[in-house]
Chains A and B, each alone.
Chain A
Amino acid sequence: MKNSLLSFFLKIEPDKKKSPFLHTLYDGFFTFAFAPNHVTKGGVHVRDGMDLKRLMFHVVIALQLCYLFGTYNIGQQHFSALGMYEGFLEGFHLKIFYGLVQILPLFVVANVVGLGIEFFYAYKKGHGIEEGFLVSGALIPLVMPPALPLWILAISVAFAVIIGKEAFGGTGMNVLNIALLSRVFIFFAYPTYISGDDCWVAGLEKVDGVWTASYNGFVTGILNPVFESFGWATYQNGLAVVDGYSGATPLSLAAKGGWEGVLTRFTPEQMFWGNIPGSIGETHKLFIILGAGFLIYLGIASWRIMVSMVFGLVITGLLFNMWNATPAMDVPWYQHFSMGSFLFAMAFMATDPVTASATNRGKLIYGFLIGTIGLVIRVLNPAYPEGWMLAILFMNVFAPLIDHFVVEGHIAKRKSRLSKLANS
């Protein structure tokens, strides 16, 4: 089987000169299916089995629980806004399929646009397709609100990949985190789609001043008949939300009413277990912690960044608790972990090795400052109550500077050691 597949692949290889674009495409898919037959030359004779593809794939594996729960939670939040199916298993098929209807287009658009641009640049530059977008393409849908229009996503991904990455030279050369760059593009260009109280629950439309359920033709035309044939419950257009409904996230409640304000709608357990509105992948805290633990255990993501980020958050949180001047400051420091996207940003965003500090000591400083600055933005910024995206992008820019000072310190230490030796 393997050999016939291999010979089939080798037979259909397009000519590199006649159709370079096809060849680039072919090369990308072929090296994905088959590890190439290159052997070592000069230098070491035996190489470690780890390569960039494998590394990135393990990050994607670590994200899978977030994908699973994110898909479910899109449906869950939608129906809880309508006051239906509050229990975990009630209307399970409706929630899962509704989640899939929302998340699959986001995933497909993000990857088609991003990979398309990667392929084009690889062909233009005449080198192989690199796997950098593998992780970005998996991260981008998870950091978006579920109701995001696809055209905005497409523009933001194109912006992030072209301006953020290819302009700097491709995989490994970018200064800013690609996934966050695409998110911040939306944040500045189309702010109403990614901030405020109305964007975190999918499938609601304002009709005559009242939010009502609204489904597209695929849901009513295809899914509903299928569910009917099984005798299951179906989606119903035009249902109004429950009285007093608001799509506010814990963070916007905290910004207005402090910890008391959060408790009026959410319990701490609910926030930890992810049954809250928010970006798709950020809500279930245990699954993110499991993903982070997986990455740390395998040595793929830096524990230094994660640990120092936690310290940054704790210390800043304690200071705010002592200060206690605004409602947002009285949120207990340990509750900041379960609100918003701190853990997701810590596990998957700040640890991007290309944009983080490169030195071990630099990573500690980098993570600590993200924890500090992110919480300052979350607590003090009245317009947008979440800080990690901006804090990480800000520190991405400063990471080379941190490294510079760490390296200078290292050089000074080396010099003093040598001069001590020379004098002894």
Chain B
Amino acid sequence: MNRGKFLFLSLSLLLSSLTEVAAQTNGEGSQFLLNILFVIAALVFFAIVIQVSDNLMAIEAKRTGADKDGNHFGLMPRFYELVGSKLPAYLKNEKVIISKKGFDIPLEGKAEAENLKVSVHRFAVNPANFKGISPIPKVLVEIGDSVKAGDPIFYDKSQPDFIFSSPVSGEIVEIKRGEKRAINEIVILADKTQQFKTFEKPNIATVSREELIKSLASSGLMTLFLQRPFNILPNLDVVPRDIFISTFDTAPLAPDLGYALKGQEIAFQAGCETLSKLTSGKVYLGLDGNGDSDAESIFTGVTGVEKYYFRGKHPIGNVGVQIHHIKPISPEDKIWTINVQDVAIIGKFMLEGIVDQTRLLAITGAELKHTGYVKIPFGASINDLLSSEEVTAEHRIISGDVLSGTQISKDGFVGFYDDQVTVVEEGNNYELFGWLLPLDMRPSVSKTFPGTLLGGVASAANTNNRGEKRAFVVTGEYDNLLPMDILPQQLFKAIVVNDVEKMENLGIHELVEEDVALCEFACTSKQPLQSILRSGLDVIKAEG
């Protein structure tokens, strides 16, 4: 309202000053100006007359009862109906956050909504997958040991109570070591029928926070949380300010998380209740407000949490962006985040006393013959997962999405936090005038490409770098792709010159790699923004 009044006042001021000038200046030019002013004045006058009569009609309609359903009855559309985005009915009484920034990268190879038939025999736990773990963990198993799902595999030496447990039951067949005896992978050959270690079920209603943490840490479920700032494994003695969950993923080819959790309503509700025990604040749920119909009932029906709807393009589904809009992190805060599928895993543990780290994994990418979903514990072998596909050296396998996933070899295993495997073509070929006249479709935020101009034609992207690295030249590019009140380019420059105070002031603690991945994708100068951000976070973390 204030803004409207301000606009009106400044417009009328401008108009009156124009008339003043027109009246003072002589000659042919001022005549032309006066004519324009008369036309504007006439238009304004007629608009006012029509608007007033239209409003009178609407009032009359309300009085006589013709306007039963409460809809606006006038001929003219209301102003906000013209300029505001039309919110679907289900969002009318909800907390909605709308952002126009961001970009949905149109890619081919989305997962079909069907479950693929694959049999996976080998699983691996890779300590390097876990963010912020100390370099060499203490391994508790040896080759030849048999383990059950939920049995401890290793612990973090800095937090000995913090157990990392086995995703499946089976036999330890290999412990791969790297440089300086670092542990690369602990490979487990899975049993045909899975056996679960049984834990004592904590009673959600009565259990204290200390006991709950102890129970989650000893079963290996504390690994499911990440702590911000820095996006690392949580400290067990930290009480987080709040816990945030995003229930939808807007990354390219991301899995449909509502589909992933179908049928797990009870476990999800129990998980949410457990989370609210862990924090001194609230549990926040970020819901997808982009659809014409409401988000999945499993998310909308859950109780005991704060729900916020988000409308916009990627990265609006990132939990970091949602935190920024709900309740931003200050440098002193500690908050936890958890993936939505993992909430149901915790719920299942509370209800049944078993650690069943089974998630729905999306197999995506235009290079695959069959895309779809696989219900499987973390750390599955890529060889087994893609056994029916012809994946060669011409392809790149990514654990995660194309923006912030990790490249893995065919002999590798799916990462711990990832609910998606993407296969894209390697783009290691020369292209004649590739910068000027691209002959095949490629994703871009720039309207200089016909695919973008036509409203985002999906393409099978490859991994070509699309140009060479340059100094920062373009400005304002990142601002349109990061839906947060942060000055990204200034922040990156502060990191590059190692200005710690400025980094903190510009809000580095609010960001993690996945939030700036879209900026890195679009960067005209091909700067490695995610690794720049991580180096900045490392500096801040080391400073304490």
Contacts and interface: CB of A to CB of B under 8 A. Distances in A.
A34 B464 contact: no
Contact of A43 (B462, B464, B471, B520): B520
Interface stretch (B51-59, B60-68, B376-384, B438-446): B438-446
A298 B448 contact: yes
A188 B528 CA distance: 42
A45 B446 contact: no
A5 B436 CA distance: 17
Given A45-B396, A45-B424, A50-B446, A34 B434 contact: yes
Contact of A321 (B25, B426, B487, B489): B25
- Which of A33, A49, A50 has its CB near the most chain B CB atoms (within 10 A)? A49
Contacts of A222: none
B30 A332 contact: yes
B485 A48 contact: no
Interface in A381-424: 403, 407, 410-411, 413-415, 417-418, 421-422
A39 to B, nearest CB: 5
Interface in A35-49: 35-40, 42-49
Interface stretch (A96-104, A202-210, A224-232, A355-363): A355-363
Interface stretch (A84-92, A168-176, A192-200, A284-292): A168-176
A42 B407 CA distance: 8
Contacts of A407: 487, 490, 506
A401 to B, nearest CB: 14
A37 B428 contact: yes
A6 B432 contact: yes
Contacts of B530: 42-44
A38 B105 CA distance: 21
A51 B29 contact: no
A413 B505 CA distance: 10
Contacts of B403: 44-46
B468 A38 contact: yes
Nearest to B527: A43
B466 A49 contact: yes
Contacts of B497: none
Given A44-B517, A50-B448, A5 B471 contact: no
Interface in B448-473: 448-449, 461-468, 470-473
B178 interface: no
Interface stretch (A54-62, A75-83, A152-160): A54-62
B478 to A, nearest CB: 10
B527 to A, nearest CB: 9
A372 B30 CA distance: 22
B331 to A, nearest CB: 9
Contacts of A57: 435-436
A130 B472 CA distance: 12
A270 interface: no
Interface in B129-184: none
Contacts of B465: 36, 38-40, 47
A55 B324 CA distance: 32
B475 A358 contact: yes
Contacts of B426: 39
B520 A299 contact: no
B522 A58 contact: no
A38 B464 contact: yes
A128 interface: yes
A396 to B, nearest CB: 14
Contact of A172 (B252, B422, B444, B525): B525
A49 B17 contact: no
Interface residues of B, number: 78
A303 to B, nearest CB: 10
B412 interface: no
Contacts of B448: 50, 54, 58, 298, 300
A335 B466 contact: no
Given A42-B531, A171-B473, A359-B487, A50 B430 contact: no
A166 B17 CA distance: 48
A47 B21 contact: no
A363 B476 contact: yes
A11 interface: no
Contacts of B404: 44
B92 interface: no
B328 A44 contact: no
B471 A170 contact: yes
B431 interface: yes
B427 interface: yes
Contacts of A53: 435-436, 467
B471 A42 contact: no
Contacts of A411: 505-506
A350 B171 CA distance: 68
A51 B526 contact: yes
B447 interface: yes
A246 interface: no
A6 B429 CA distance: 11
A170 B473 CA distance: 11
B93 interface: no
Given A358-B489, A358-B490, A410-B487, A48 B476 contact: no
Contacts of A172: 470-473, 525
- Which of B461, B466, B472, B523 has its CB near the most chain A CB atoms (within 10 A)? B466
Given A48-B445, A49-B466, A51-B466, A34 B473 contact: no
Nearest to B507: A414
A48 B430 CA distance: 16
A247 to B, nearest CB: 25
Contacts of B432: 2, 5-6, 33-34
B467 A35 contact: yes
A411 B502 CA distance: 9
A57 B442 CA distance: 18
B402 A46 contact: yes
A57 B433 CA distance: 12
Contacts of B49: none
B521 interface: yes
Contacts of B422: 45
Interface string B359-378: 00000000000000000000
Given A2-B432, A172-B472, A353-B473, A418 B524 contact: no
B524 A51 contact: yes
A422 B405 CA distance: 34
Nearest 9 CB-CB pairings of A with B: A35-B434, A51-B467, A172-B471, A38-B465, A49-B442, A358-B475, A35-B431, A50-B446, A46-B461
27 contacts: A6-B430, A34-B432, A35-B430, A35-B435, A35-B464, A36-B468, A42-B528, A45-B402, A45-B405, A48-B446, A48-B521, A48-B523, A50-B445, A51-B466, A52-B467, A52-B524, A130-B470, A171-B471, A172-B471, A299-B446, A332-B29, A332-B30, A354-B473, A360-B479, A411-B506, A414-B507, A418-B328
